[in-house]
Structure 1
Amino acid sequence: MIELADLPDEVILAIMNKVEYRAELLCSIIGIGNNRLEQLALDKCHSIDLTFDYFDSPYELLMQRFYSHVMPRIYYNIQSLTLNVHHIRHFVTYVNENYNGTLLNLTHLKLVFGKRCFKTGTPYTIGNDINSVLHGEPLFSIIPEFLHFDGTIGGRILSVLRCSPLIHSIISFELDDDCIFPDAPNDDGLFFVHSSQLTHIRVTLCRFDHCVRLLNQLGPQIHSFSVSLVHVRIGDVDIISKMTSISCPNLKILTMTIYRNILCYEECIPPLLQRLSNVEHLTLLLAVGVIGNRPDHFIDGFDLEKDIVSYMPHLRQFKFHIRSILIDASHTEVDAIRRTCVKHQSVGCALDYFNNHYGQCQIYSLPFIGTRLDFISNRFPLFDINNTFSNVTVLLLFDDVKPFESVFFERVTQALPSLRTLEVSNELKQQEKSANSLVFARLATLILYNVHMNYAEQLLCRARLPCLIELAIRNDLLLAMVAGDNQQARYNCSKVETLRTSELPSDPTDSIQNFFPLDSCFKYSKKEQK
């Protein structure tokens, strides 16, 4: 039998490269007495990811070995580090006690505060907002839900890190996109106390004024800034003057993502972007809402040119996907919107006028750069020969004009092979049903609240969902599915870890619990009343 140590170096390295988490590899090799294998492993220890270890994981002994045997051998080589929230305090304490609080060569730090099942470590998407009033707002997205850390243990742990000397050497900092970076707890309002080297940041912030404050603090040192914002409104009366004081002459790469409808677009977004005149690569993923200060028309190419591009003379690349919403919008032809984008090389456009009196316009640069599509109707050009949207992982379907027929979902499975989250909102009965079996190969999260029974039948009883782990479904649809005892539905629900429904069933829930795995997490909560 050939032993691992008998293989040539290049084969061993190829095997090592197959191991997803370097820390696991190091723990299994360092200290076993084989100097050759240890050296090969140590040569690959510049990037360390500890996120394989979650709250109730079986890796406690492995982590103890990592600190006792591995860290003393690799601390000087670590350049990139990825941590879960519950690692931070222990890791900072360990570095303080053993290396004077710093890792000299550490330049990249990523924090994964991700929403995960405590028992299995599986990421989840749906939270309590699924039953909130916001979920019923027209054309308002609540997926994915954000984790808030202000005033929590997680927030206090994060404060320990950002006030730690460990930040001294950090050049690049990332935080999970779905996790909100807490407001600065210190008296001077600094988001990072020790950040003189910090030039690249990717964070999600709760409020627009937090973004303005962070840019003011970083000033000329920031080179790349990727920010997601949850709320954009004028909450600070001095926000305009604070925007005018922003000076980031070295900021070259800017990405701004706002999927929850912007309430004060005209007062906030263009004035901020106009202060960042040296940007060379700009990406905007925005949803412009129906209330507050906004244009009285759909955002089009003329607006982008007049309000943004003309203020960035060094701009070399502009990628965007902008969804704007109007109530009682006057009718506009899609070609008229498209003609406003002639200065941009290739642009897609879609217009919708719904029966709920809302209109929606989406303009996007091509090739498409987003990973999500919100409130897509039958009229959206979702299917084309170029596979324009093949990278989309989140899809929110909405139509109150025409039902989504069976063939529509067949085409979705072909056009969106990477789809992981699907929400359907359509209460119109399907007119054309198909017996064809669909396969959503990667779909992990399915939301069926505001739908006709047809969609639950098609997606749960006739389609194959081998990766489904989260299901949010209206109570009557859930009870009907359980009563029908459909075998395909049982198979689709066999791996569900989290089930959410609109209200607590009046009948005993034994039949529901027997339909799902024994260790599933059930969430029943009544919707908030307006």
Structure 2
Amino acid sequence: MNQSNINLLDLPNEILFIILKKLDNIDVLYSLLGIDNQRLDTIIQENIFTNTLNFVLTTLTDNIYSITDPILNRFCINILPKIHNNVKSLILDSISMEKILLAGDYPNLTQVKIFNFNEKILSRYFTDQSPFRRIFQEQITDLILIFEKNINKILEEFNTINLYTYVFNFFINLKYLSITGLFPYPFPHLNCRQLPITICLCSTLYKLSLDVPSLVDCYALLDGRLKQLTILILNIAMLNCRISNIYNMDDLPNLKCFSLKGFNCFIDSYDNKILPLLRRMLNLEELTLYFTVVNRTTFIDGTSIYNEILVYMPRLNKFNFGICTEIIVINNLIHRLSKDDIQRTFTNIIFQQVECIVTYSCRRGKCYVFSLPFMFNDLDYIGNRFPTIIFTYVRSLKLEDEVPFEHEFFIRIAWSFPLLEKLSIMNLKRQSSIAKKLNCDDNQLYSIVKFPYLTSIFFCDVHNDYVEQFLNDTKTHLPCLTKLTIVCNQLQLMTENFTRDRTRLNCINVRQLLNLGEPIVHSEDFYVYFPLLKPSVFF
């Protein structure tokens, strides 16, 4: 081993295998497979892709938008035909889907995720006449359909009832079905109560993930038609509803995992609909809850969660939750519970750490209780008081307070929410004069707040200071801002009628400008200020 001209292929197979395992699988595929070396090809195919090909194809197709045609062509012509027998999972996009499917027979393919799903895919691939009928109808057990953007168009052209009817009837071996929209775009919800009971009698389906409009649809799904279901994941648009139909209310002994995420619900819906539903799940092992309950007289704390939910689930071993309670504060003299008071009530919840946020205004009290790590994409209406932790999964955040948001607050926000994409701000209190003096344009000692992934800002009932805080590039750096919702008068004022240089940089990538006030006169300066803005996306 003292030779100076040792190359990669001089190493024994065992060491080559260790090296290749350390590399990114796509790099290995594209750089090393098919270089006319049979020994290296054999090592790659037999030792790497036999066990990890699911990840390889996921990595390739999940980034399909960044893959050029020559690269995709090489995968489809030179690589996929050699490894297609090992492929168990594919993530596809509607643009490149057919080219990838034609590259091999995929006899072991059982899992498919399709981005940008649409009606053309339904009629092209999910039919008895499709050249891929064998793959989809007979082999696929796990199907994930993800709709992207253009939701209004889909709502007009796409019949969701027909979609679900077709999917349930066509995929005869389906075990897992998920139909949703890519964050932050929701998929048109399915009215499960409108589905004939016969189309949901899929005897093999054990896992289901759907967006539904109402809690009624949850009751409809659990009326006995899916007795074999063990995992149910639901995003519910409206938790407040009247359940006029009489649904089967038997226990759900086969259900092992249940997730319910929604928005605001009144105390009646929580007490009389959500809690009775949860108590039917006697053998539940995993539970996820995320919603806000309004108009209560007391906060939902650890004691109430244990006594009203967990005591009915003796087999539960994993509980992720984010529950917010809003109460009406009638008498300012009543005792106000602190964060420590709420924290002490979680002695019976032993599954993981728990955090809480407690805030009071002149009329409302609000209490967030949530498990750690925080596992949800959005967090609504937090103020100056929030725990010093990193919310890794949060992409959408709403800020609201009756106390000013100072510059340091936004530094904390940027640190705590590193992957933030959407931000909404509500605060009519002006920043302090001291903070404004420290944060003036020529002060180089004040840190610039950086939001590297923020694409959308919604200024709703805000003081001018917060528009200045975000649009001034000496205070905040917004390299990816593409959508801005703002009152036109504030925008004109802070940009000095679209001539101010200090606010130009953070506006230069905006492609959608939503106006909350009087129409803006589209001057020449306006279009120079927003060079990517098209008249059709300005409202």
Instruction: Report the TM-score, using the length of structure 1 for normalisation.
Output: 0.78
- Aligned equivalent of 1:248: 252
Uncovered stretches (5+) of structure 2, i.e. residues with no partner: 1-30, 440-445
Ranges in structure 1 where 5+ consecutive residues have no aligned partner: 54-58, 117-145, 526-530
Contact (CA 8 Å) 2:488, 2:519: kept in 1 or not? yes
What code does the residue aligned with 2:160 have? G
2:203 is matched with 196
Q: CA deviation at 1:340?
A: 1.9
Q: How far apart in 1 are the matches of 2:280 and 2:110?
A: 36
The verdict on how the C-alpha distance between 1:73 and 1:509 changes in structure 2, with shifts beyond 3 A counting, is farther
How much has 1:211 moved relative to structure 2? 0.5
Any idea what the Cα deviations from partners look like across 1:115-148, whole Å, max 9, x if unmatched?
25xxxxxxxxxxxxxxxxxxxxxxxxxxxxx979
- Looking at CA atoms only, which structure, 1 or 2, has the larger radius of gyration? 2
Within a 5 Å distance, the mapping from 1:282-431 to structure 2 comes to: 282-290=287-295, 295-328=296-329, 330-334=334-338, 335-345=340-350, 346-355=353-362, 357-381=363-387, 383=388, 387-400=389-402, 402-431=403-432
Query: Which residue is equivalent to 2:166?
Result: 161
Q: Which residue of 2 is the match for residue 49 of structure 1?
A: 91
**How far 1:521 moved relative to its partner?**
6.5
**Cα distance in structure 1, aligned partners of 2:192 and 2:372:** 38
* Partner AA of 1:438 in structure 2: V
Aligned residues of 1:89 and 1:157 also touching (Cα < 8 A): no
For residue 502 of structure 1, the aligned residue among 512, 516, 519 is 516
Pair 1:492–1:195, CA change in 2 (3 A): farther
- AA aligned to 1:476 is N
Deviation at 1:416, TM superposition (A): 1.7
Q: Which residue number corresponds to residue 16 of structure 2?
A: none
Residue 530 of structure 2 is matched in structure 1 by 516
Q: Distance in 2 between matches of 1:94 and 1:485?
A: 61
Which residue of structure 2 lines up, in the alignment, with residue 77 of structure 1?
A: 109
> Corresponding residue for 2:11?
none
CA distance in 2, matches of 1:447, 1:109: 35
CA 1:250 to 1:147, structure 2 compared with 1: closer, same or farther past 3 Å?
A: farther
Aligned-pair CA distance for 1:453: 0.9
Equivalence for 2:73: 28
Q: Which of 449, 455, 464 is 2:477 aligned to?
A: 464
Q: How many angstroms apart in 1 are the aligned matches of 2:168 and 2:265?
A: 33
- Kindly provide the CA deviation profile for residues 258-293 of structure 1, in whole angstroms up to 9, marking residues without a partner as x: 133446211111011011111011111111123xxx
* Distance in structure 2 (CA, Å) of the matches to 1:147 and 1:95: 30
Match of 1:114 among 137, 144, 148: 148
Following superposition, the deviation at residue 98 of structure 1 comes to 5.6
Residue 456 of structure 1 aligns to a residue whose secondary structure is helix
Residues 397 and 206 of structure 1: CA distance in aligned 2, closer, same or farther (over 3 Å): same
> Is 2:168–2:202's contact at 8 Å kept on the other side of the alignment?
no
Letter in 1 for 2:60: V
Q: Equivalent pairs: percent with the same residue?
A: 24
Moved more, 258-267 or 194-203: 258-267
Segment of structure 1 superposing worse, 488-497 or 319-328: 488-497
Q: TM-score, normalised by structure 2?
A: 0.77
2:34 match = 5
Shift of residue 360 of structure 1? 0.6
Deviations 1:162-190 (A, max 9, x none): 35412x21111112252243224866256
Q: Please tell me whether the aligned partners of residues 502 and 524 of structure 1 are also in contact (alpha carbons under 8 angstroms).
A: no
Q: Separation in 1 of the partners of 2:129 and 2:193?
A: 23
Cα deviation, 1:215-254, whole Å, max 9, x if unaligned, reads 124443111111111112232234xx52623x42111111
Q: Which residue of 2 aligns with 1:206?
A: 213
In structure 2, the residue corresponding to 1:350 is in which secondary structure? strand
CA separation of 1:344 and 1:257: change in aligned 2, threshold 3 A: same
Number of residues of Structure 1 aligned to a counterpart in Structure 2 = 467
Distance 2:498 2:116 in 1: 42
**How far apart are the structure 2 equivalents of 1:77 and 1:419?**
35
Q: Which residue of 2 aligns with 1:266?
A: 271
Q: Which residue of 2 aligns with 1:19?
A: 60
Q: CA deviation at 1:75?
A: 6.7
Q: Secondary structure at the match of 2:227?
A: helix
Provide the residue aligned with 1:136 in structure 2: none
Residue by residue over 1:347-383, the C-alpha shift from the partner in whole angstroms, topping out at 9 and shown as x without a partner, is: 212211123x1211111123333332211111222x2
Alignment of structure 1 residues 62-73 onto 2, 5 Å: 62=96, 65-66=99-100, 69-70=102-103, 73=105
Contact in 1 for aligned 2:401/2:426 (Cα 8 Å): yes
Q: Distance in 2 between matches of 1:107 and 1:81?
A: 11
Match for residue 487 of structure 1?
A: 501
1:500 and 1:522 in contact (8 A); partners too: no
Distance 1:268 1:484 in 2: 52
